[in-house]
Amino acid sequence: MGESERGESAPRRRVSYWCANGHESRPSFALDAEEPEHWDCPRCGFPAGRNEQSPPAPPRNEPYKTHLAYVKERRSDADGEAILQEALAKLRKQREGDF
């Protein structure tokens, strides 16, 4: 379908957005459309805002944590040692029952 078959397009305006890397994006919006506060930069993917001097901060990437790292956040070394001793005692008791 060509443009002539679709009719007139809505009047548009371009709005500038800047990301933390200094990239400018200029998406176009219909005149009566509300402009979003943030826009994703098509070059780097960082959030971009309307204020060139104060763009939104890039998102923080948290490093991947292993299951052990999460456990260590919740338990102290003393807790871990107590749980280990309890589990070993349980295994030893089971083993004695097998003989």
Binding residues: 19, 23, 41, 44
Q: Looking at the DSSP assignment, which residues form a beta bridge with residue 60?
A: none
Residue numbers belonging to the annotated binding site for Zn(2+): 19, 23, 41, 44
Tell me the H-state helices in the chain: 3-6, 67-74, 77-98
Q: Tell the burial category of 20 from Cβ atoms under 10 Å away from its Cβ (0-12, 13-18, 19+).
A: middle
The residues, ordered by sequence, that sit 6+ positions from 41 with a Cβ below 8 Å of its Cβ are 17, 19, 21, 23, 25, 47, 48
